[in-house]
């Protein structure tokens, strides 16, 4: 299963590929049909393909929701199976 997540563009290589950063790592990804992609843009990536550009506020909201889903809400106790 793939999960589309937001990343920040740190380098535009050419009209088809760029380097993005998120979660402490950088990835080389491919984009098409996204005009004027620039360093600092936030994009949603799945399987090394940029799906769309998103506003920074939306990217931060998605990241926070993903962290909460994976690690639980801050201060909340996690249930364990017996």
Domain boundaries, the chain: 5-71
Interval 1-20: pLDDT, tens: 678 999 999 999 999 999 99
Report yes or no: 18 and 12 within 8 Å, Cβ to Cβ.
yes
Pairing relation of β-strands 25-30 and 42-46? unpaired
What kind of fold does domain 5-71 have according to CATH? SH3 type barrels. (2.30.30)
Segment 29-73, tens digit of pLDDT: 999 889 999 999 999 999 999 999 999 999 999 999 988 988 887
User: DSSP H helical segments within 1-82, as ranges?
Assistant: 56-71
């Amino acid at each position: 299963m793939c999960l589309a997540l937001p990343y920040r563009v740190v380098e535009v290589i050419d009209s088809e590929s760029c380097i993005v950063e998120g979660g402490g790592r950088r990835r080389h990804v491919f984009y098409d049909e996204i005009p004027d992609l620039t360093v600092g843009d936030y994009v949603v990536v799945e399987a090394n393909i940029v799906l769309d550009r998103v506003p920074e506020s939306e990217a931060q909201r998605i990241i926070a929701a993903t962290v909460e889903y994976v690690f639980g809400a801050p201060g909340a106790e996690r249930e364990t199976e017996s």
